Structure 1
């Protein structure tokens, strides 16, 4: 069973009477209500596990002044929800709390945030090797260009992944043994949006005012990455899976690495988060002042 371990450090400047000393992990979710619905955030405690580090069979015991270290280990359930944070929100978070319980006095409490995430069952490198099945299209009638854009099927949080562009012209094909390089991609613009679907239960007052006691689904969307990349001079397609195309170019795309800059994909009853990748590829001719573009979306 997974667990977290650590030490609780206490500094007691003067002797105090203590009922018990414990450490606990607390998970809580907080979903903001939209402006049209009154009331505080929808939230609650999702998990709470504690361990008593010191206690007395009597009502209390005396703790002399000094510095103390209390090692602890708290078990974690496998079904615990991941930490979910992002731009302007903390839908689900954890913290470790150290508490000194006292009689007739306020408890002494300190807390530290904790992140819990499930890791993939395979290495990140293997994840990035699983490429999305290709989609081949004709650009338009003016430039009869066939192309393919490929990205990994599963992209870990904060990873840098390759985006490969393969293409060939269907018009004026060169004779066998000749090469062709008059049409090639000039730039690729990446646009990644993040969409949230939040299930909010109306308060009693809102249920009466809007005559709707049923939960409501609210959606919001924002951009987490918008970047243009200059494509390096094309190379002949040498990979076995690229032999149907004349040329290929690869660019590295770096996702945000800050946990508060984007949110991982989430699929739960109350929170759903998914991402959409839209790219725009501009092609140009070397000998003519002409540029064509293509747009695609991938989820």
Structure 2
């Protein structure tokens, strides 16, 4: 009968995404609840509640297909009630109730993504009636803490470069602009490969961003005794970005002497998903841990097209939420990161590298064995200290020494 007397009800939030920071003014969840009644109704109370819920999927665990939930945060505010807390009569017509929740500076972030709703917040308006079921209107809201990476204006960028020599006799240099990247952004990955294997050529490079999720809750007393466990854990891994760059024979550039001295150097963008339901931010708490890694796999082949070597390198990433990313209606405005801290260039080609100083000096000896002044300043960069090899007396012959 109560629902038949309601012409309309609406819960409106001023902001669907709230950011909390210790250095800024206290954040608030504000909004209004509108209720239209066709006639007088008896109501015990009307209250609004902000609740945080931690949910762990139980599919395949203990034979259950449901989710285990736990309340992590709760604030409550009365909107209408009698002084004696008894049932009161609410007249017919339109009614509007305003509410305001002051949020603490330390609060667990909203954590959602592909196939998970680990931690969510909901605003609920509850109309309580005596000896009858409650009438509830709810709406979800996202709450994030502003990352220290966002509030520290003097924070230097943290570029990451991996270079080395693989077991397959391949030199490589891999660089990213910053290991800390905003949610939904696009950032460049620079790659350089120089196989020392004869006739080895680069076939394809695959770049992936892998997200690893782990969530856990304390097991109940009955579950602990029955299954001998302390925690219920849910773990899964997913690929949030994948891209393959292929190379053909036309990409190869043989050297002047006809030898297979080939090097590959290129930059390719990595675009994180611009959806709150396709990717999560990196986070590590008591109950939830989500990490991200960048996998770079290079495949090499021989002249016949048969695979000769495969190398894989892994770079850690930290994806953080920022107020500049989430727009109206929870749309994502991805940023385009194009900077590289320090040098953007991988090692130069082998034939262009500076040769050994001793060999260079020895090559400039005249026919009589008298070394000439060998200036090597031009071989070094302008930032290095100039150096020179001065004229020296030749070493005495063996028979003169004895």
Structure 1 residues 283 and 128: CA distance shift in structure 2, 3 A: farther
TM-aligned CA deviation for residue 195 of structure 1? 1.6
Structure 1 partner of 2:112: 85
Output one character per residue of 1:110-168: Cα deviation in whole Å (capped at 9) or x when no partner.
Answer: 000111112334559x89982433121235666x5442332411012222222122466
Query: Does 2:67 align with 1:50?
Result: no
Matches within 5 A, 1:235-254: 249-254=266-271
Does residue 109 in structure 1 map to residue 136 in structure 2? yes
Question: Does the CA contact (< 8 Å) of 1:7 and 1:72 recur in 2?
Answer: yes
**Shift in Å, 1:45:** 1.0
> Structure 1's 207 and 60: CA in aligned 2 closer, same or farther, altered over 3 A?
closer
Find the counterpart in structure 2 of residue 174 from structure 1.
none
Q: Please give the alpha-carbon distance, in whole angstroms, between the structure 1 residues aligned to 2:63 and 2:195.
A: 58
Greater share of strand? 1
Contact 1:99 1:108 in 2 (8 A): yes
| Alignment coverage as a number of residue pairs | 275
Of residues 207, 225, 232, the one that matches 1:190 is 207
Q: Which residue of 2 aligns with 1:270?
A: 287
How large is the RMSD of aligned CA atoms in angstroms? 3.7
Q: Secondary structure at the match of 2:161?
A: coil
2:243 to 206, 223, 227: 227
Relative distance call for 1:55 and 1:75 in structure 2 (3 A) is: same
SS for the counterpart of 1:135 is: strand
Q: Is the 8 A contact 1:128 1:155 kept in 2?
A: no
CA distance in 1, matches of 2:51, 2:274: 25
1:1-299, aligned counterparts within 5 Å? 1-33=26-58, 35-38=60-63, 41-58=67-84, 59-123=86-150, 130-138=157-165, 145-166=171-192, 187-210=204-227, 212-215=228-231, 217-229=233-245, 249-281=266-298, 294-299=311-316
1:49 counterpart SS class? strand
Gap runs ≥5 in structure 1 = 172-182, 235-245
Deviation at 1:82, TM superposition (A): 0.7
Q: CA deviation at 1:270?
A: 2.0
Contact 2:176–2:187, Cα closer than 8 Å, also in 1: no
Higher relative CO (Cα under 8 Å, sequence separation at least 6) belongs to: 1
Pair 1:127–1:215, CA change in 2 (3 A): farther
Deviation at 1:215, TM superposition (A): 2.7
Q: Is the 8 A contact 2:294 2:314 kept in 1?
A: yes
Give the 3 Å change call, closer, same or farther, for CA 220–60 of structure 1 in structure 2.
same
Secondary structure of the structure 2 residue equivalent to 1:106: strand
- Unaligned runs of at least 5 residues, structure 2: 1-25, 252-262, 317-402
Q: 1:217 and 1:48, CA in 2 relative to 1: closer, same or farther beyond 3 A?
A: closer
Distance verdict in 2 for CA 1:9–1:194, change over 3 Å: same
How far apart, CA to CA, are the structure 2 residues paired with 1:81 and 1:47?
A: 8
Normalised by the size of structure 2, how large is the TM-score? 0.58
**1:240 aligned partner:** none
